[in-house]
Amino acid sequence: MSLRRYRTLAILLSALLFLAAVPPGQEKRISVYSNVATYTLPVLDRNGHEYVGLLEILDPLGRVNAAAEGRRLKLRFNSLDCEFEAGKTRGKIAGHTFDLAAPFLIENSRGLVSLDSLNSLLPRFLAMPVNFHETARRLFIGDIATQVRPELDSTSPPRLVLNFTAPVNPTIATEPGKLKMTFTRDPLMPPGSQALSFDNRIITGAGYSENNGAAELTINATAPLMASFSNNGRTITVTAAPLSASGTTPTAAPSPPPAPVPVVSSPANAIRRPLAVVDAAHGGNERGSALSDKLAEKDVTLGFARLLRHELETRGFSVFMLRDSDVNLALDQRAGAANASKAAIYISLHASSGGNGARVYTALMPVADDARGIFHAWNSAQSPALATSQNVAALIATSLQKKQFSSRHATASLRPLNNLVMPAIAIELAPGADGLADLASANYQQKAAAAIADGMIPIRDRLGAQP
């Protein structure tokens, strides 16, 4: 199939994937922020309480195995043995009994715990403080919070400078008299006051709110505003939009829907956020390699992908996760969705019980290339980007070696690398010095994820310039 014919199918497939993966606007969700992973999970209403999957909460935070036996769920988290019983408000962790705020539930072998139990339950698992904003469904684990300090410069035009203690990447939209920043993946905490007033005729005030797993900063003004990023994402400056040709500030339409505002930065401190597609291999009924009796490749790749997403975002990338749950995606679906996203880089993640360290692969292209004009055959769509793919792979392999990972770069006939139009690589994580236990270790995966993200920094801006 030619790439031209496939584009229509790719758009349809990516739309279906988007509809399947993105919850409806009113779906309840909880956001979890920690030093090892940041993630969002759906919330279920049961018997007047809000519930979330216990394994889904714990999986990105450590090694977890569980089995449902009738009305009981037996779970092992790192070195802790735990037991829960459906309908009971008591559980047991490491031999110690404790109370839950609402009955534990088991549905389809899946354990559910009420949100109002998390503040007392999670510190027993994690041995660190937990701060749960229950009404907003935002869960902070450890010392992870990002603070903001607003400062108004009343020069003409006035500037509201927001200084953050860590890089942030909010969604920015405007509506009449307001500029809104929505922080879904950033652990933003409220400023000193949730409502600020400014003695300024253009930027009149700011407000903070949080709801349904997200925080929001709203800037109120009497004129249209725009935002610019600097200081590697730690500073956002809000100022009035430039004057129109008539010499007046353009006014907003009476009631337009919220629309994204392009990020505007000066050349001296411009920050680009190229889009990286991170693809956790396998999923659903496709378990991948059996790494041990209880550990499947699909589970390792998903946890690894979540950690890599966090590391890439802190280094100036935007990230699209092709698989952020236990679902099965065909190879053509993965390639179609990635191509339709117009991403700057595609990274496929695998795991193996053989060898040690990590291996970085680029596509092994077919001998015959039946390209027609500007279009390439589906199985050689990678050809124009292959040189960049090999450059990225070499940088990542070197970065892994610097972090004491045994690493090498090789080519492989590994789909869907051949079918991708952007630079594309695959990374296979293998055990370290502690053997198979490393593959399930969040610390080991996080160290590898950090090395991969570090390796991409030298080429980040060039990736952002890819067509």
Dump pLDDT digits (tens) for 151-201: 998 787 889 999 999 888 888 888 888 999 999 889 998 876 678 888 889
Smallest CA-to-CA distance from 136 within 205, 104, 184 is with 184
- Single out the residue in 226, 252, 269 at which a domain terminates: 269
Residues in the chain: 467
Residues 341 and 318 in one domain: yes
264 in the same domain as 281:
no
My answer on whether 40 and 183 are in the same domain is no
CA angle 155, 156, 159 (to 5 degrees): 60
**458 in a structural domain:** yes
The widest CA-to-CA distance across the chain, in whole angstroms, is 75
Distance in Å from the first CA to the final CA of the chain: 22
> Which domain, by its residues, includes 363?
275-464
**Residue 380 C-alpha from the chain's centroid:** 29
Tally of structural domains, the chain: 3
- The per-residue pLDDT for 78 is 87
Q: Are residues 90 and 194 in the same domain?
A: no
Tens-level pLDDT at each residue, the chain (467 residues): 443 343 334 334 433 433 343 344 458 999 999 888 888 888 999 999 999 999 889 988 888 888 888 899 998 998 899 999 999 999 999 889 999 999 999 988 789 999 999 998 999 999 888 999 999 999 999 888 999 999 998 787 889 999 999 888 888 888 888 999 999 889 998 876 678 888 889 999 999 999 999 999 999 999 888 888 888 888 999 988 765 444 444 443 333 333 333 333 333 334 458 999 999 999 888 888 888 777 888 989 998 999 999 889 888 899 999 888 888 888 888 988 898 888 999 999 999 888 889 999 999 876 555 555 555 677 788 888 999 999 999 999 999 999 989 998 888 878 899 899 999 999 999 988 878 888 888 888 989 999 999 999 998 888 865 44
Residues 281, 246 share a domain: no
Question: The domain spanning residue 106 has which CATH number?
Answer: 3.30.457.10
pLDDT digits (tens, 9 = 90+) for 204-233: 999 999 999 999 999 999 988 888 888 888
**Residues 419, 317 share a domain:** yes
| Residues 326, 247 share a domain | no
Query: For the residues of 353-400, what is the DSSP string, one character each?
Result: SSSSSEEEEEE---S----BTTB-BGGGTTGGGHHHHHHHHHHHHHHH
Residues 85 and 168 in one domain: no
Domain boundary residue, one of 141, 157, 179: 141
Beta bridge partners of 139: 32, 132
Of the candidates 251, 269, 287, which is a domain's last residue? Answer: 269
Structure tokens at 6: 């496939």
* Distance, CA of 274 to CA of 362 (rounded, Å): 20
Q: Is the domain of 265 the same as that of 291?
A: no
CATH number at residue 162: 2.60.40
Cis peptide, bond prior to residue 458, ω within 30 of zero: no
16 domain residue, yes or no: no
Is residue 91 within 8 Å of residue 100, measured between CB atoms?
yes
Burial per residue of 50-59, b for 16 or more beta-carbon CB atoms within 10 angstroms, e otherwise: bbbbbbbbbb
Q: How many Å apart are CA 101 and CA 47, to the nearest integer?
A: 13
